[in-house]
Amino acid sequence: MTALVAKACPVVLREGTEGTEILVFEHPLAGVQIVKGTIEPGETKQAAALRELAEEAGLRDGRVIRTLGESAEIDDGQVWTFVLVDARDLPNAWVFHTLDDGGHDFAFFWHQLDAAPDARWHPIFIPALAFIRSRLAA
């Protein structure tokens, strides 16, 4: 049996005017997503979450609050660890140029946590959002 690829997914929340919002971004080629990336050898899940947030969103002052949980049900061959991260004083929207996949501009914005994902969402991130909601409600 092949080992699962370990992924870290930092979860950044804020209280908006209509309730809790989650930080997401629109990838120019792959739809709306939550920050996520591979955990490197020797790296803790929490450190990977902070690194991914820096690499994909440009946020370098995040602080781990707690691990929300793990799921091997999001994407075949992967186990995702969801880490709640505090990142304060973020704008309503911004674009960050990442070096991922040869360089892309990721358009970050806040999605109402209890709102249904629309057609722009990449399908893999729909069950990820459901998992996050379930863990926050527990």
Q: Which domain range does residue 39 map to?
A: 5-137
Report pLDDT for 56. Answer: 95
The CATH number of the domain where 89 resides is what? 3.90.79.10
Each residue's pLDDT, cut to its tens digit, for the chain (138 residues) gives 678 999 999 999 999 999 999 999 999 999 999 999 999 999 999 999 999 999 999 999 999 999 999 999 999 999 999 999 999 899 999 999 998 778 899 999 999 999 999 999 999 999 999 999 999 997
Report pLDDT for 93. Answer: 98
Number of domain units in the chain = 1
Q: How far is CA 8 from the centre of its chain?
A: 8
pTM: 0.95
> What own/partner pairs with CB < 8 Å and gap ≥ 24 does 12-15 have?
12/53, 12/59, 12/62, 12/85, 12/86, 12/87, 12/90, 13/84, 13/113, 13/136, 14/90, 14/110
Report pLDDT for 1. Answer: 60
